[in-house]
Amino acid sequence: MEKRLFLRGNHALAIGAIKAGCRFYFGYPITPQNDIPEFFSKQMVKVEGCFIQAESEVASINMILGASAAGARAMTSSSSPGLSLMQEGLSYLAGSELPAVVVNINRSGPGLGGISASQGDYFQATRGGGHGDYRTLVLAPSSVQEMHDLTLLAFDLADKYRNPVIILADAVLGQIQETMVDRPYQPLELPPKDWILAGASGRDPRLIKSLYLKEGEMERHNWKLFEKYQRMKREDVRHENYLEEEAELIIVSFGTAARVAKSAIRLARAEGLKVGLFRPITLFPFPEKALFDLSQRVKRFLTIEMNTGQMVEDVKLSVARDADVHFYGHAPGSPPAPEELLNALKKVY
């Protein structure tokens, strides 16, 4: 019998991290993600791991840089303003090709914003976020189960690509309590970490750096990173289809918005409306090919986001040229109700 747990999303995520062998957590308090560092402060001791409440998000992300350079699985979590502070470190991690898992329990913004759920950090997460020409893998869970499962995957993908992975959730997913199957961790086959720093004993010294000054070096490095992002697009794109067969309207939505969209679709189906869902699970790489294929058959799309329109740009770039893409935004506050989305989809059906 598989074990089932009833717990909140933030705890499911933290349990997943420990299961995946993460023994280094560095973080700074910010609502609504505080139950993650609180969990680790208690649990890391039990697994002989390391928990540090850093002096800032800037320090947290750089502690990860150090632990990751030493070959350890390390993570941090924060909410939107904290992620802004981490962008420098994320750029260095990407440039230095270091694995890391960074959780953003998205709150609303800009500025101090509020602590309610939002998807306003889609651009920041999927476009690199910091300076320079880089990307981070972005996983978008939509349930407590996925908060756990995608965390296991995040550590593997970070190691596979030597690249930071962002888990983009929000206040709802962090706090909601659901039943989850306590799945065992089955790691991907990963390359050996033959680049870690541990002291140059019996080998040449190694460097972890992102500075390239010699003629042509920087360009080569940028194209090397580009190739890596192309490989992500080939090998690690994930999405979910829901009732998309014979659908005449497809809702494209991720995370919390996709949960509510599913309820709205059930209401619509009960009224005889043929509506389906396309839910990107990886926001970068975006499931552009799967969406394009779907748009060969379905010509009407409605992107629903808890912001004023971000992912909709990726949807428009992905679909066939003769497909119509509409947008419904529910800017931060409380999450949308299914009836609100039902009304929205009826307007474009």
Partner 1 sequence: MKQVFKRPRSLKDVSFHFCPGCHHGTIHRLVAEAIDYYDLRERTIGVAGVGCSVFVYEYFDIDVAEAPHGRAPAVATGLKRALPDRIVFTYQGDGDLASIGMSEIVHTANRGENLTVIFVNNTVYGMTGGQMAPTTLLGQPTTTSPYGRDFLQNGYPIRMAEMIATLEGTSFCARVALNTPANLMKAKKTVRRAFEMQMNNMGFSFVELLASCPTNWGMNPLKANERVEKELIPYFPLGTFKERKGTDHQ
Answer yes or no whether residue 175 interacts with partner 1 by CB under 8 A: no
Which residues are 50's β-sheet partners?
24
Q: Phi and psi dihedrals of 237, rounded to 5?
A: -95, 135
| DSSP symbols for 272-327 | T--EEEEEESEEES--HHHHHHHHTT--EEEEEESSSSSHHHHHHHHS-TT-EEEE
b (16+ CB within 10 A) / e for 119-150: bbbbebbbebbbeeebbbbbbbbbbbbbbbbb
Answer yes or no whether residue 192 interacts with partner 1 by CB under 8 A: no
Q: How far is the CB of 44 from partner 1 (least distance, A)?
A: 11
Answer yes or no whether residue 65 interacts with partner 1 by CB under 8 A: yes
Answer yes or no whether residue 74 interacts with partner 1 by CB under 8 A: yes
Answer yes or no whether residue 64 interacts with partner 1 by CB under 8 A: yes
d(CA 74, CA 199): 20
Select from 8-16, 59-67, 162-170, 316-324 the region that touches partner 1 (CB under 8 A).
Answer: 59-67
Select from 47-55, 166-174, 233-241, 339-347 the region that touches partner 1 (CB under 8 A).
Answer: 47-55
Answer yes or no whether residue 86 interacts with partner 1 by CB under 8 A: no
Answer yes or no whether residue 45 interacts with partner 1 by CB under 8 A: no
Q: How far is the CB of 55 from partner 1 (least distance, A)?
A: 4
- Residue of 34, 38, 70, 269 that binds partner 1 (CB under 8 A): 70
Q: Is the peptide bond before 332 cis (omega within 30 degrees of 0)?
A: no
Instruction: Answer yes or no: are the C-beta atoms of 119 and 310 closer than 8 Å.
Output: yes
Interaction pattern, residues 194-223, with partner 1; x per rule: CB under 8 A: ---xxxxxx--xxxxxxx------------
| DSSP symbols for 172-195 | HHHH-EEEEE-PPP-PPP----TT
Binding residue count for partner 1, defined by CB under 8 A = 39
For residue 259, the Cα-to-chain-centroid distance in whole angstroms is: 16
Q: How far is the CB of 27 from partner 1 (least distance, A)?
A: 13
Answer yes or no whether residue 134 interacts with partner 1 by CB under 8 A: no
> What residues contact residue 96 under an 8 Å CB cut-off, 6+ apart?
65, 69, 208, 209, 210
How does strand 100-108 pair with strand 74-78? parallel
> What residues contact residue 4 under an 8 Å CB cut-off, 6+ apart?
179, 180, 181, 182
Answer yes or no whether residue 155 interacts with partner 1 by CB under 8 A: no
Q: How far is the CB of 72 from partner 1 (least distance, A)?
A: 4
Helix (H, G, I), strand (E, B) or coil at 210: coil
Answer yes or no whether residue 172 interacts with partner 1 by CB under 8 A: no
Answer yes or no whether residue 10 interacts with partner 1 by CB under 8 A: no
Answer yes or no whether residue 56 interacts with partner 1 by CB under 8 A: yes
Answer yes or no whether residue 27 interacts with partner 1 by CB under 8 A: no
Answer yes or no whether residue 92 interacts with partner 1 by CB under 8 A: yes
**Which residue, 71, 58, 48, is CA-closest to 26?**
58
**Between 66 and 114, CB nearer to partner 1:** 66
Q: How far is the CB of 52 from partner 1 (least distance, A)?
A: 7
What is the contact surface with partner 1 in residues (CB under 8 A)?
24, 26, 50, 52, 54-56, 58-60, 62-72, 74, 88-89, 92, 96, 197-202, 205-211
